[in-house]
Amino acid sequence: MAAYTDDADIAGAGADWRAWQESWDRQQEFYLPDREERFRVMLDMTEALAAPSAPAEEDGSGAPGPVVLDLACGTGSISRRLLRRFPGAQCTGVDLDPALLMIARGYFAGDERVEFVSADLTDPEWTDKLPHRSYDAVLTATALHWLRTDELGVLYGQIAGVLRDGGVFMNADHMPDETTPRINEAAHTFDKARREQAEELGKQDWAAWWDGLSREPAVADAVAVRFRTIGNPLAGDHSDGEVQSPARHAELLRAAGFAEARPVWSSPLDALVLGLK
């Protein structure tokens, strides 16, 4: 097997990238049954605040779409939905995970509207790798809880720096409210029972999905790099980050230079917070 490199040629790798992209979505829905609803709200608010006033035609003609940064993009779930909604959009996906980036690059191979960048969001100079000087929107989902609060505050300042005036940032993530412990406990108990039922029906969880991906020859080397440098899901490795309430996220965004910030969607344990520059 050829050694993995970040610029590996994916065109002839032989994996079914669409199947891996879709299986990632199903695995994420194991934890987030309302995942599509938060994406819908995210794209609605992108259209309301950051997209051209005239929508692009279905064939990609007409008004251009927004220029969007898909932050901690994973396999490109947001990019996929964004380009379906705005065929004229341009999208940059940024992530550190070499395995997920390989799936994203494979899925979008040949699509000139989207490009992917490998970058560590804790690197002070990660924005230097971006292909656009400014973006209409920066979107992210279920990723930034990997950061600690001080790191998140720094990142929010960097995001403000790459957004145009009037641009929007949206973060959909785990955002429990610490002032409601009984509600939180009830929601956790309910969600645990729901996931146990899903497991009985054969749904894949995080570890099972990564186990399957590690057996895919086209991605095996990238998975090995991921396990060694970021963490091994099969060994229970995960984030040492922190979660914040929606109010705390809004506070951090305003401190980072956003003019307005508040939740625009929520569930008992998660929320979508929007910052308007």
Residue 211 falls within a domain, yes or no? yes
Whole-number average pLDDT of the chain: 91
Quickly state the pLDDT bin for 51 (edges 50, 70, 90). confident
Run of H or E residues at 114:
strand 114-118
Cβ of 144: how many Cβ atoms within 10 Å?
23
Residue 12 falls within a domain, yes or no? no
pLDDT tens digits, one per residue of 130-186: 999 999 999 999 999 999 999 999 999 999 999 999 999 999 999 999 999 999 999
* Residue 69 belongs to domain with CATH number: 3.40.50.150
Residue 249 falls within a domain, yes or no? yes
User: Are β-strands 163-174 and 270-276 bridged in parallel, bridged antiparallel, or unpaired?
Assistant: antiparallel
Distance CA 274, CA 137 (A): 10
DSSP 126: G
Residue 3 falls within a domain, yes or no? no
Q: Please give the tally of structural domains in the chain.
A: 1
Quickly state the pLDDT bin for 239 (edges 50, 70, 90). low
Residue 222 falls within a domain, yes or no? yes
Quickly state the pLDDT bin for 114 (edges 50, 70, 90). very high
Per-residue pLDDT, 238: 65
Query: Which range marks the domain in which residue 242 is found?
Result: 17-276
Quickly state the pLDDT bin for 63 (edges 50, 70, 90). low
Residue 5 falls within a domain, yes or no? no
Minimum mean pLDDT range among 90-94, 129-133, 199-203: 199-203
Distance CA 88, CA 43 (A): 14
Residue 262 falls within a domain, yes or no? yes
Per-residue pLDDT, 2: 34
Residue 249 scores a pLDDT above 50: yes
Distance CA 249, CA 156 (A): 9
Residue 273 scores a pLDDT above 90: yes
